[in-house]
Amino acid sequence: MKKKEFYYDSADGVTKIHGIEWIPEGKPMCILQIVHGMAEYINRYDRLAVFLAEKGILVTGNDHLGHGKSIYKNMEEAGNGAGSSHPYGYFCHQDPATAAVEDVQSLKKRIRKENPGIPYLIMGHSMGSFILRNYLCAYGAEIDGAIIMGTGMQPKGLLGFSKKLVKFLTVFQGEKHKSALVNALAFGSYNKRIPHPVSSMDWLSRDSVEVARYNEDPLCGFTFTLGGFATLFELIDRLHDKSRLEKMPKDLPVLFMAGTEDPVGDYGKAVEGVYQSFRDLGMEDVSLKLYENDRHELVNESDRELVWKDIYEWAVKTAGKKEAEN
pLDDT, position 325: 82
pLDDT, position 321: 85
pLDDT, position 84: 53
- Whole-angstrom Cα distance, residue 236 to residue 152? 9
CATH number for the region 2-325 comes to 3.40.50.1820
The answer to whether 96 and 127 have CB atoms below 8 angstroms apart is no
Of the candidates 124, 127, 80, 132, the residue with the CA atom closest to the CA atom of residue 224: 127
pTM of the model: 0.96
β-pairing verdict for 145-149 and 57-62? unpaired
pLDDT, position 72: 57
Which residues in the chain come in under a pLDDT of 70?
A: 72-85
Q: What is the pLDDT of residues 206-242, one digit of tens each?
A: 999 999 999 999 999 999 999 999 999 999 999 999 9
